[in-house]
Structure 1
């Protein structure tokens, strides 16, 4: 049985278990992550964030002194990037005194280096790196229907579907996983369903390895960028409402995602043997 110190945080109710692992001593396997993220048997979360020095991550080839965000989905699978997770990660580093408040900080992720900053009003914003929209659409199926979807890469894969009305969006049963083209997405995909309104975008998401979540930062960015292309406009800022709140996407030479991120608890947990194998 291993004992771990943890924190718990969320960004627009997309929640995470956070572990600070200065010396790369915590061994995370699939059962351990799944147990920690279990909402009844463990702590509960949509994913897990481990903070470790980048030089201790074998696959990292960049600056060894950066903090590395080792992100895992709730089922224990490894993911390249998580927008809300990175904002919570930066908030955690700030509250632990591991970065300088208000100063932009580079963070290593499996999708490359991203920059995070805690703004004076408490909002956390992060750079999203290169976002790639594919010219050819794909398809998504759900509940007996098929939709055309835009393929977007935000360091991780997304398929964005635009619906006609908020009623359609609200009535989706996202306890059921959408279908997708496995040739286009061999490692799975995050599927966003969105509606355009005069007030901005409204979105729900089914995240691979998790299910429906209250928010998805990279999904919000994918949806905003897909919308901007479809309208042939490039507004400075797009507001996206998700079940857990509201986020802002700033478009330009660099894309930024901004919104609230909070750490709500700290504690110690004993991981049972079945969760540590």
Structure 2
């Protein structure tokens, strides 16, 4: 069987995008995600994103995300910008709209087109409470600057939910970290029963950060939109980043701009780029 897809990336967070608006999610999406995401052996991606029919009246589409290991994620900040760009290009009903609404597993998101291949996402409200992640054995929260032992080493972490769970920790030199050695132990730490995404952050100044991320189900990726939001939220909670100002976060794949608004609302702005259209034999 031949499968048509669009490969897109936001800050090098790359997925294969499938038009599932009429057909629905493929029945064998889990093995499909595992097969096509394998780098060096297949197309290669951080996973598959299915663009489905909207669930909410007035919405323009629905995003479902399947990681490289086949697990389903609730939300992807880089991915949803690419979904908006895909709809803008491929759906005549969306081509003239400057604002799109997209359903996700963590609620309806509103996106505004800011320029050519540039979108701003209203990411919603973040939380540092344990029940919202979920997290156990760490108290009810807010989980700000909490001690966490990982593989026998003490860390100081701030845990943030932005519709999916994140664990943020400050480091002196983010480039020198061996994420493949420490990331899996964070991801599967028993305090996080649904696993966790982990962000390692170096503070340049109050509005400029450097970040690397270990994503549950995908390993190290070159960017993570929700992780970037969680990182800025975590530093706002610690008084290290300001409320109401743009914070620029340098990732391995590019830069995202995050603003925390009063009421813990998050705005994310970044690019969404089409790499190529393809057909895979599956």
- Settle same-fold status: TM greater than 0.5: yes
Residues 126-178 of structure 1, C-alpha deviations (whole Å, 9 max, x = no match): 11012112313445556753211111001000000012x23xx1111111234
User: Partner residue of 1:35?
Assistant: 35
Structure 2, unmatched stretches of 5+, are 130-141
1:5: how far off? Answer: 0.7
User: Partner residue of 2:19?
Assistant: 20
1:122: how far off? Answer: 3.5
- Summarize the Cα distance change of 1:66–1:101 in structure 2 as closer, same or farther, 3 Å threshold: closer
Give the distance between the partners of 1:140 and 1:8, measured in 2 at CA: 37
What TM-score results when the alignment is normalised by the length of structure 1?
0.87
User: Partner residue of 1:174?
Assistant: 179
Task: Tell me if structure 1 keeps the 8 A contact 2:59–2:101.
Answer: no
Equivalenced residue count is: 261
Matched, 1:196 2:203: yes
User: Partner residue of 1:5?
Assistant: 4
User: Partner residue of 1:116?
Assistant: 111
Matched, 1:51 2:51: yes
Task: Tell me if structure 2 keeps the 8 A contact 1:116–1:126.
Answer: yes
* Coordinate RMSD, CA, aligned: 2.0
Q: Which SS does the other structure have where 2:16 is aligned?
A: strand
Matched, 1:136 2:135: no
Matched, 1:269 2:264: no
Task: Tell me if structure 2 keeps the 8 A contact 1:140–1:179.
Answer: no
Kindly report structure 1 stretches of 4+ aligned residues shifted beyond 6 Å: none
2:101 to 103, 106, 121: 106
What TM-score results when the alignment is normalised by the length of structure 2?
0.86
User: Partner residue of 2:136?
Assistant: none
1:39: how far off? Answer: 1.4
Greater Cα offset, 252-261 or 107-116 = 252-261
Structure 1, unmatched stretches of 5+, are 56-61, 272-277
